[in-house]
Amino acid sequence: MNVTNLKIREIRDLLDKKSFSSVELTQAYLDRIKKIDGELQSYITITEDLALNSAKNAQNKIDNGNSSPLCGIPISIKDNICTDGIKTTCGSKSLENFVPPYNATIIDKLNSQGMVMLGKANLDEFAIGSTTQNIFAKTKNPYDFSKVPGGSSGGCAASVSASLCAGSIGSDTGGSLRQPASLCGVTGLRPTYGSVSRYGLVAFASSLDQIGTIAKDAHDCAFLLNSIVGHDDNDATSLKAKTIDFASKIGESIKGMKIAVPKEFYDENNGINPEVKDTVLNAAEKYKEMGAELIECSLPSLKYAVSTYLILSSAEAASNLSRIDGIKYGHRSTKGETFGDIVRNSRTEGFGDEVKRRILLGNFVLSSEQYNDYYERALALRQRFIADYAEIFEKCDVILTPTTLSTATGISENIMTPSNIYLDNICTVTVDIASLPAISTPCGYDSNGMPIGMSIIGKKFDEATIIQLADAFEKSFDAISPKLI
């Protein structure tokens, strides 16, 4: 049995039956990481000793009958989630040597259950971007090493897709769980804003940031999410909502369910690749065969999605990243005589181009001359998205869209300008703007064998339904694993 290919639920069952130990399982993942990850580069830090130690402790718990859902399960954690005593670089030179003195709330939660952390997964610098290429590591797509894995949780998605962990925890501000999951042929789940504590997640855009899960299927995503949700006094935006079992509707019939198909997402004028469009629409037909009803509808505000997202997220990023000044946090330049010079040089040396672009944009839209024309209008548009979605949800249970406009692009293809890359976020960002939950799951492959993903968007707090639908599709779909060793 190749243990690294197993789903989390299967591992749980076999660990509890003592078919293998958590130490053996962890070693199998570490061996595979050694074989593959030198080239794949899904991890930025591998915590081998810690992992084996945690596995030993977890095995003791299992042997003593104190097992819990994630006890002894090896996972990867995005490197913008603070881990006490372990480097948390955010993929940035500015935090190259940052070792947090505390754990994010979710890390404490996972540790108390006996989770085994294999390492920190690579990402776009400060989770800003869509390709997971930074100065430390350039992550490849497991289906084709010449292509990007997507981002910003590209290390999470690639490590799951290449079976270098059982599941992964990442973050999503404008699509960063769903887009890389889609490009790497795995499942990514962004829950309702506020359902998972953001305490210890290095902030990109606080009104949009949300921690979520990536795994081999929707049921595993739900399984992982069950272990990290819940209110946290340390996060002012954390919800007090009652926690549900996210897997509770799995297996229920989807007969009669109303699935909205908003036409703008499938409009070739918005740049969707015809192969992606046809594949997602075929998946919609499959739901129809299962008894669901497809409802054509419209989200006319979609044309404002990318601008609204960029204005809001960049404004918040400019403010959040101001603390990385070489004085309070981050790389400090050795050049400069005055306080101002040292801050300027530290930030110039510490940040990459994309982060600088967003900081400039953010400060521009927040400046007193531009505030009304940009930031205030983006805030108003945010309300419009919330209202437009509410209207669709009056008549439908969920919404089905593509996750991306095209499949993964080549790492060295230089055809993507920043504005092209921004436009590519059109399918995912409205979910974040409207604080909704959404899941991306594989629904086909293009003519080059690269994965295509579809997204199911749910009503607030209705993760259970989107997970149920994703699971129903997955059960009828022949997924193709990447051809690695």
| Site residues (vs ligand GLN, CB under 6 A) | 127-130, 152, 172-176, 204, 313, 425
74 touches 166 (CB < 8 A): yes
CA-to-CA distance for 185 and 479, rounded, in angstroms? 8
Cα torsion at 100, 197, 440, 10 (round to 10°)? Answer: 80
Coil, helix or strand at residue 56: helix
Q: Which is nearer to ligand GLN, 60 or 273 (CB)?
A: 273
Q: Which is nearer to ligand GLN, 95 or 283 (CB)?
A: 95
Q: Catalytic pick from 42, 54, 94, 152?
A: 152
* C-beta neighbour count of 328 within 10 angstroms: 9
State in angstroms the smallest separation of the CB of 417 from ligand GLN. 14
Q: Catalytic pick from 76, 130, 153, 176?
A: 176
In DSSP terms, 146 is beta-bridged to none
Q: Which is nearer to ligand GLN, 119 or 212 (CB)?
A: 212
State in angstroms the smallest separation of the CB of 176 from ligand GLN. 3
State in angstroms the smallest separation of the CB of 190 from ligand GLN. 9
Please report how many Cα atoms fall inside a 13 Å half-sphere around the Cα of residue 383, on the Cβ side. 5
138 catalytically annotated = no
78 catalytically annotated = yes
Q: Which is nearer to ligand GLN, 128 or 299 (CB)?
A: 128
Cα torsion at 232, 234, 236, 240 (round to 10°)? Answer: 10
Q: Which is nearer to ligand GLN, 91 or 350 (CB)?
A: 91
CA-to-CA distance for 181 and 253, rounded, in angstroms? 26
244 touches 225 (CB < 8 A): no
State in angstroms the smallest separation of the CB of 173 from ligand GLN. 4
Q: Catalytic pick from 42, 54, 78, 94?
A: 78
Q: Which is nearer to ligand GLN, 166 or 305 (CB)?
A: 305
State in angstroms the smallest separation of the CB of 338 from ligand GLN. 33
Measured at CB, which residue is nearest to ligand GLN? 176
Q: Under 8 Å CB-to-CB from 405, ≥6 apart: which residues?
A: 270, 271, 272, 273, 276, 423, 424, 426, 427
> Does the N-terminal peptide bond of residue 161 adopt cis geometry, omega within 30 degrees of 0?
no
Coil, helix or strand at residue 453: strand
483 catalytically annotated = no
State in angstroms the smallest separation of the CB of 422 from ligand GLN. 7
Residues belonging to the active site: 78, 152, 176
